[in-house]
Structure 1
Amino acid sequence: MGRGQHRSPMEVFEDHLGLRLEGNLEEDLRRNYAEDVVLLTVNSNATGHEALRMSAERLSRQLPGAEFSIAAKQVSGPYALLIWSATSPRFQAVEGADTFVIRDGKIVLQTIHYGLRHASEFGSAVTTAGQAGGGDGPP
């Protein structure tokens, strides 16, 4: 897309989800995130693409080889919500919720929250984490 042409929040959100589910973090950052994006989680209050890379790395360590499921997604004006879960041999991520603010064709704010259950105890939560970020939940 040329300069001055902006995608709608829905288009940005759908492109983000598609690229993350493919595992293409760098292209997602380039196309869909503002350079000074704000990332808020229980573990971080950070800005920029490096914050999202760190979040994605944390998620891949917590959920190696994860299979992600999207339970719901909503877009209203510049705001988007993603509800998700994931299962890996190590942990199960439950009650994943990412929110986004999308302005001028870029994500300018993302919040991430999910709970983790150890694979050997899928019946009881052992910790709560706030880093998905999406790879990072697919997020």
Structure 2
Amino acid sequence: MLRSTSEVFDSHLNLRINGDLERDLVENYSEDVVLLTLNSNMSGHEAIRASAARLAEQLPGARFEFMAKQVSGPYALLIWRATSQGYDAVEGADSFVIEAGKIVFQSIHYKLVAG
């Protein structure tokens, strides 16, 4: 039985907070997921890995806070912020499309400010 949008979304957030990117990719992402950000227009698991590496580099040891989560049909939205030693991320917004139990599209936006 396929997982609901909420189940996939919650699994994704839990795995990422716990630092388990590879399990998140296998369980929650389509192999041909499309990722759009200010800096990239890529697809596939390598796109997600590259984005996660960029975020970790920009915000080493970051603490994330989820401000709001919304789900409607196949769509999900996460509003977030993060703090780290060098920079903080504010105005974070990730959008998702989840089909057949997998994330098939994600967009990511955030603004870095000195911490």
Q: Does TM, normalized by the shorter one, top 0.5?
A: yes
Measured in 1, the distance between the counterparts of 2:86 and 2:8 equals 31
Q: TM-score, normalised by structure 1?
A: 0.82
* Separation in 2, partners of 1:113, 1:24: 21
Q: Which runs of 5+ in 2 are unaligned?
A: none
Amino acid at match of 2:82: A
Q: 2:59 aligns with which of 63, 76, 81?
A: 63
Q: How does 1:16-95 map to 2 (within 5 A)?
A: 16-95=12-91
Distance 1:10 1:61 in 2: 29
Q: Which runs of 5+ in 1 are unaligned?
A: 120-139
Distance 1:25 1:90 in 2: 23
Aligned residues: 115
Identical aligned residues as a percent: 65
Following the alignment from structure 2 to structure 1, what is the Cα–Cα distance between the partners of residues 42 and 99?
A: 18
The alignment partner of 1:64 has SS state of: coil
- SS of aligned partner of 1:89: coil
Please list the CA deviations of residues 103-132 of structure 1 after superposition, one character each: whole Å capped at 9, or x if unmatched: 00000000000000012xxxxxxxxxxxxx
Higher Rg: 1
Please report the TM-score for the alignment, with normalisation by the length of structure 2: 0.99
**Structure 2 residue identity aligned to 1:68:** F
AA aligned to 1:42 is L
CA RMSD of aligned residues (A): 0.4
User: Which of structure 1's runs of 4+ aligned residues deviate more than 4 A?
Assistant: none
SS in 2 for 1:7: coil
1:4-15, aligned counterparts within 5 Å? 5-15=1-11
Is the strand fraction higher in 1 or 2? 2
Amino acid of the structure 2 residue aligned with 1:102: I
